[in-house]
Chains A and B, each alone.
Chain A
């Protein structure tokens, strides 16, 4: 091809190249935007996406969402926070088919899982399991549908009744953990707080406890937070 023709062609094609890269870039941008929008929409439909349940503080009744893995402690960066604990008390990782694996950060700190001291490496929390750490008592409540084995009642130590989260408060007190308030109104940001997932059923010994004997009833200081449509 003659040099002058090539020059003309090449200079003309400069605009074509710019047009093509701009189209590719815009297309990628709009796809990214659409994908983000779709993802946000999915998250609105599944507000509990990425979570596997919640952890209820049995003394205060407050519940904190439970992600698939994270830390329990008092530090700001912890996923489950409790003021009475060490900054980083325990790690947890959800293992499908096994449960929530618990790994203590400090081996010497007192930690009980369903009234039993933690074993090294093979401690797994299931739905209804109570974890005692320092002065905190936390109950794991996991969503139904997770690939989990059935929880067995601890064999060595009998379950103590009444459980603090199943007793009824005095009139005028906050609601107990076994019943739930009406769904909260939508937040100002427009997020629907209503839960889409259901919790797994609790083991029968917790659902239908025997009549309390002489044990004094414990009071809850605060009601359970969160939306409605939760059933144990």
Chain B
């Protein structure tokens, strides 16, 4: 590694390490909690290893990795502050997610050798997606959770990765109908589970990928009309969708009833002001579902508006970087995969932050990398792994081009 690269790595990881060290130290001094002091050492160490050491072992995009690791670390910090047990749980999820990320990077790397597994992936995905309808448990109105061998998980989160891989693969081969059929089956099952937030994400991603691969404006128009029709059907058939729209139109209509969550979230964000209330001094725990759907409100409350805007900018940079990776991709499969991954993260972030600030009706999706949830964290990191895999392939492609140019000059 050259001195310049070392310097770049240092300035990319040092602020994050200092941030986590000082934040956990502060929480430790609050009540001389040894767990916080332990985290003050461990989290910066893991952050450094994941952001600076990992790209040396497995070639990956350092900027993407540093941004994602910072957001994951921030999620662990906020959860630790709200409930230390959840913080430790999320840290474990993060470590599992890192393994998943490396696995997905390798999947993209060795895709030509393992692409024959695609029909298997599709069949297993549909089976997994149907599982909540058979043995699922209802949580927040959606039958999206499954408990197997003592482990709770949300199949729709795992199938995100399969959807991206399969849609990118099929559409890269111009197999539009099979891709639409797979996505349609997943959407139908999500509707039956009443997991409309995830269904929205699946629909948007399929629409974007099909439009990008076919370039058909009529399909885009048809898809948008279909989304409108689906929204109308969803609105008329489900009372809770009607409630969500009512809350969105006027949250102050019933601030202690159905709008309680959104109103508390907005109050918390306003109370935070530009600089926040200070870490450990906030009262964000009064917001229901603060650890999952409203974690952004907690960040905004304790760290302030400027910090919250920086977090949004980080998501924006991840999206732009992902689009850049897609633009540099050498194959149609890689382009669609990278674009799908970055759009997935961007749309999910927009949907949940928009719901938190009442820009759009609230939907029950998690904020990638920040919200508590093992399946969500692992799937988000797996999606980043796919993106890293494409970035890795781009690097190899450029090296190959340089080699060809050299060989061409010699011949």
- A interface with B by C-beta (< 8 Å): 1, 6-7, 9-11, 13-18, 20-25, 27-29, 31-32, 35-36, 39, 42, 46, 48-50, 68-71, 76-77, 88, 91, 105, 143-146, 196-201
Contacts and interface: CB of A to CB of B under 8 A. Distances in A.
Interface stretch (B8-16, B151-159, B177-185): B8-16
A198 B278 contact: no
B174 A24 contact: no
Contacts of B67: 28
Interface stretch (B202-210, B288-296, B366-374, B400-408): B400-408
A9 B29 contact: yes
A27 B407 contact: no
Nearest to A8: B278
Interface of B: 8, 11-12, 15-16, 18-19, 22-23, 26, 29-32, 62-63, 66-67, 70, 173-174, 214-215, 275-276, 278-281, 303-304, 306-307, 310-311, 313-314, 317, 320-321, 324, 328, 330-332, 397-398, 401-409, 411
Given A6-B280, A25-B317, A198-B409, A145 B403 contact: yes
Given A50-B401, A143-B408, A10 B174 contact: no
A197 B402 CA distance: 10
Contacts of A31: 8, 12, 62-63
Contact of B26 (A13, A48, A77): A13
Nearest to A103: B173
A91 B174 contact: yes
Nearest to A1: B29
A68 B275 CA distance: 51
Contacts of B62: 31
A181 to B, nearest CB: 20
Name the residue in B30, B303, B411 with the highest tally of chain A Cβ atoms < 10 Å from its Cβ: B411
Contact of B404 (A69, A70, A88, A197): A197
B228 to A, nearest CB: 26
Nearest to B214: A77
B376 to A, nearest CB: 23
Contacts of B31: 1
Contact of B275 (A18, A22, A199): A18
Given A1-B32, A10-B278, A29 B317 contact: yes
B266 to A, nearest CB: 21
A126 B84 CA distance: 63
Contacts of A11: 278, 281
26 contacts: A1-B29, A1-B30, A1-B32, A6-B29, A6-B280, A10-B26, A11-B281, A14-B276, A15-B275, A16-B22, A17-B307, A18-B275, A21-B15, A21-B70, A22-B306, A22-B310, A24-B15, A24-B70, A25-B310, A28-B317, A31-B12, A69-B331, A105-B174, A197-B409, A198-B409, A199-B408
Contact of A32 (B19, B303, B321): B321
Contacts of A39: 328
Contacts of B408: 143-145, 196-199
A69 B402 CA distance: 19
Nearest to B66: A28
B63 A35 contact: yes
A173 B277 CA distance: 79
Contacts of B215: 76-77
A22 B311 CA distance: 10
B304 A18 contact: yes
Name the residue in A10, A15, A31, A196 with the highest tally of chain B Cβ atoms < 10 Å from its Cβ: A10
Across the A-B interface, give the 5 residue pairs with the lowest CB-CB distance, nearest first: A145-B407, A10-B278, A145-B404, A198-B408, A24-B15
Contacts of B214: 77
Given A39-B328, A46-B402, A197-B405, A21 B275 contact: no
A211 B358 CA distance: 80
A108 B407 CA distance: 40
